[in-house]
Amino acid sequence: MPLEAIFCLIDDFCKYFETQSQFVEIGKVRKKTRVPEMSLSEMMTIVVLFHLSGYKTFKDYYNFHILGHFRGCFPRALSYNRFVELMPRTFMPLLVLSQAIRGKRTGKYFVDSSKLQVCHNLRIWDHKVFKGLAKRGKTSTGWFFGFKLHLIINDKGEIVQFCLSPGNTHDSKVVQKMAQGLEGWLFGDKGYLSQSLSDSLLQQGLLLITKVRKNMKPKLLSSLQKFYLSKRALVETVIDQLKAICSVEHSRHRSPQNFLVNILGALIAYSCKFKKPSLKLDLIPN
């Protein structure tokens, strides 16, 4: 999606958002605040565009791309330090926007989680930014220190729901809350094997389908259910794009507020992509 289309989407949302509600700024409360020259929609657009720009650091992106190549598009652009200071103001509207552009409820969903490492393991004891918030967790690739990003996507590759949890949270503990209001089939890996979870999801009309361990009896699945289960890697492809293209994970955060803004910006940037990984309808069995 080009810059003009993204800006128009965000600007229209901001006009409606500002007339319907008052958002709370995250950060230190100051008695005297200076009104920034940049509009909220301009700041949100810059945050989202960063995750589609290919830059690995926001500082380089802002100084060379926004203050350089795109100076004509943002004539009232603030200095880098001032912009980073005001970034927490975009958190609440970005959160509401991420919920407003969620994917369609198609009845076929995939769930998975991915680590968001905030520092190298050797620097855990010296890390202060996320002290008391981030936790040590373990994945198939080893231990990490940070958070987990949980995603539920549909068969079109659209993000339907997401959740952030400390790194030591088990995947199955957040699924029920994330899946509220969803009906149909939910496909996950063996990490979501839980009879109590399956029963609670089934009560709301959502059937949890996973592969079984070697010492378990095989489940009776239809050919269509087996097909969708074999395509569970679709959600892993979405996570790969969030990390490789949209830069949802990096270890250079200097405040928890901007960490959340970075995640929301990446999720919205992915949602704005024209082409997303999806299942080919001609391959789906009748």
The tens digit of pLDDT for each residue in 71-91 reads 888 999 999 999 999 999 999
Cα–Cα distance measured from residue 145 to residue 136, given in angstroms and rounded to the nearest whole number: 4
Average pLDDT (104-116) is 95
CATH architecture, domain defined by 108-252: 2-Layer Sandwich (3.30)
Please state, in angstroms and as integers, the Cα–Cα distance from residue 106 to each residue in 98, 103, 154, following that order: 18, 9, 6
Over its C-alpha atoms, the chain yields an Rg (Å, rounded) of 20
Residue written as token pair 């659209």? 158
**Tokens 């981030």, residue located:** 134
* pLDDT for position 24: 46
* Domain definitions of the chain by residue range: 3-100, 108-252
- Assign 233 to helix, strand or coil: helix
Strand bridging mode 108-117 / 184-188:
parallel
Segment 98-113 mean pLDDT: 94
In order, the DSSP letters of 53-112 are H--S-HHHIIIIIIIIITTTT-TTPPPHHHHHHHGGGGHHHHHHHHHHTPPP--SEEEEE
pLDDT of residue 36: 61
Which helix (H) or strand (E) element contains residue 265?
Answer: helix 256-271
